[in-house]
Structures are given as C-alpha cells and as structure tokens.
Structure 1
Amino acid sequence: MSLHTADERTVLEGLLDAQRTEIALLLDELDDAEARTRLVSSMTTVLGLVKHATFVEKVWFHSRVAGVPREDLRLPRTPAESFELAEDDTIESVRADYDDACDRSRVVAAQHDLDETWPWHDGPVSLRYLYGHMIAELARHAGHGDILVEQFIARRPVGTD
C-alpha cells in the first residue's frame, strides 16, 4: 500500500518513520570526531542532534504517552541540555539509543488511538497532534544536520567521500 493513498494513521506513522530514518542517516557519512564537532555557535553538533531526537522521542512517547516519569527515564531537564554530549558518546552508542527509543515509541503509540489525549502545559494533546509535531521536529533537525554533514564533506579532499 502506498502512503499516498493509505489511511490517516498509516500515513502519519510512515511520514514519522521517514523522518526518523533521516535523523539516523546523518551519522552514516561521519566519523566520531566529525559527529562531535561544532560548526555553529550553538551546542549543535550532528551527534547532538541525534541525541536530542532521542530526547524528544522519550519526552513525548515514553513519558507523556506511556506515563513514565521523566526522572525514571533520566532525561535532561531542558531541551537545550539534550544536545550536550558525554565523553563516552559515540556514533555507535548514540545511534543505538536512538534506534531503541524509536522502537519503544512505536510500541507505545500502537497501543493508543489517534484521538486519545494527554495533558500538556498548553492544554490536551492528541496522538494525532503528537505525530504531526514529531514529523515537523525531526524534519527540521534532519535539515540542520544535512547542512552540517555537507560542511564536513565539502572540507574533504576530492575523491574521499
């Protein structure tokens, strides 16, 4: 079945999974040093973007929808802190955490209807909204990451990419 003609839930899940894949692919063309390198004045690095994407998966699906307290998930207090890298963060470890978070998010979401809602500081939020929010969030960060990856590739000698 094509996403172009699928039912609403299949479309939303398919679009979200496409963005999840784009986030994971950011790490494919870099080594650990490049993935940790800051090219902009903010804390943003390619590895940090993937770590942040793990954070948003856990905040929304694991905590908000599944009801696991944020402390139990050992989440950073703020979104900005979710970009911070630990000494032992590597492409392999951050990707594994991200893949695990996405897998858990899929399991959590599958147990709920699109119209089901959860409290949020701006009022109730539905699973339908959450899918849309996550698609936009991950697409934005995948774009940021694409630009950073392009910068690394552009710096390499011709024929090494």
Structure 2
Amino acid sequence: MNNDERVYPSKVADDRASLTSFLDYQRATLAMKCAGLTGEQLKRKVIPTSGLTLLGLVRHMASVERSWFRWIMNAEDVKMPWPGKVDGTFAEFHVEDADAGEAFEVWREECARARAVVSSFNSLDNTVLFRGETVSLRYVLTHMIEEYARHNGHADLLREAIDGAVGE
C-alpha cells in the first residue's frame, strides 16, 4: 500500500477547485486502502464488533455518489445499485456474495458521473430543491468530503487488521 499516487489538493486554489480536488483526494484514498487486496480480503470482517468490510465501504460510497449527485443534484430517476436493507442495514454492506470487480466498476462509474454533474453547475451556490429543502452544490461537495473522510478512517483500521498495511 506504499504506492501513493494520489494528487494532493492545491493549498491556494479557489473554492470550487479546492472542494473538487479534496473530494477526488478522498476518493483516491479509499482506492489506495483497497489496492492490492483479493476479493476475499476485501470482504473480510476483521473487527469483531463490526460488520464493516472494505468492499462494503466501496459499495456504500457508490450508492452515496449516485444518491447525492445523480438523484438529488441532477434529478435523475435512478435506482440504487444495491437497493434495500438486510437485517436493518443497507444492502451494500452485505458482501458475502458480492463481486469485487463489479463493485469497483460501479463506484468508478458513479465518481465519473458525479464529476460530470458537478461540471454542469455554474456555481457552488447553485441549488436544487429536494424533499422541500434547498441544497447547494457547495453543501453536497462538503458533505461528500466528510462522508469519505469518515469512511476512510474505517478503511484505515480495516486495512491494518487485514494485512498490517498502514499509511495515510
């Protein structure tokens, strides 16, 4: 996992470039945390008190990307890639029969589509109305950075427990 090919965000960029580059950095961090592992390792539940897996996190983030960017911001009529709940938790976290290649393909596609949606807005202050609430592009980008950062902390712990690899 020591092959860090992430692009670090500029320390002097404008707001839009800062937010989008920090989001891409967080996306690249999740990919880095999963790099070099087998499908079985990605599915492994290694924290005794948690059902989280790296593959579950990738599938979850694919769903979150689709939800915020395509469904909410772009008003697309899309279904979630792994709909529903199983035992009270989102289906994307149940990876026993999941295909790692498919999950990464869906995630990468959702990231690309999200970038296209972001590019279609003229300003971070552009808003949409969703379920009676006004939501700005600035809010969504900030929320997505937070969402990835939180889950990348989980990914850190999972990766270390799988094979001892550590690193930011």
TM range (shorter): 0.7 to 0.9
Candidates 113, 123, 132, aligned match of 2:133: 123
Partner of 1:50: 58
Partner of 1:102: 111
User: What TM-score, normalized by structure 2, do the two folds share?
Assistant: 0.81
Runs of 5+ unmatched residues, structure 2: 1-8
**1:29–1:149: 8 Å Cα contact kept in structure 2?**
no
Secondary structure (helix, strand or coil) at the match of 2:76 reads coil
Summarize the Cα distance change of 1:48–1:102 in structure 2 as closer, same or farther, 3 Å threshold: same
| 1:15 aligned partner, one-letter code | F
What is the alpha-carbon distance in structure 2 between the residues aligned to residue 8 and residue 66 of structure 1?
A: 21
1:122 Cα deviation after fit: 7.3
Higher strand share: 2
What is the alpha-carbon distance in structure 2 between the residues aligned to residue 102 and residue 120 of structure 1?
A: 21
User: What TM-score, normalized by structure 1, do the two folds share?
Assistant: 0.84
Summarize the Cα distance change of 1:74–1:93 in structure 2 as closer, same or farther, 3 Å threshold: closer
Partner of 2:35: 28
Percent of residue pairs identical: 32
1:119 Cα deviation after fit: 2.5
Q: How many residues align?
A: 152
1:121 Cα deviation after fit: 4.6
What is the alpha-carbon distance in structure 1 between the residues aligned to residue 71 and residue 30 of structure 2?
A: 21
1:43 Cα deviation after fit: 3.2
| 1:126 aligned partner, one-letter code | S
Candidates 11, 16, 23, aligned match of 1:9: 16
| 1:45 aligned partner, one-letter code | T
Matched, 1:89 2:95: no
**1:30–1:149: 8 Å Cα contact kept in structure 2?**
no
Partner of 1:158: none
1:39 Cα deviation after fit: 2.0
What is the alpha-carbon distance in structure 2 between the residues aligned to residue 44 and residue 103 of structure 1?
A: 25
Runs of 4+ aligned residues of structure 1 deviating over 6 Å after TM superposition are none
What is the root-mean-square deviation in Å for CA atoms of aligned residues? Answer: 2.1
Secondary structure (helix, strand or coil) at the match of 1:26 reads helix
**1:60–1:130: 8 Å Cα contact kept in structure 2?**
yes
What is the alpha-carbon distance in structure 2 between the residues aligned to residue 88 and residue 51 of structure 1?
A: 9
| 1:104 aligned partner, one-letter code | R
Summarize the Cα distance change of 1:52–1:88 in structure 2 as closer, same or farther, 3 Å threshold: closer
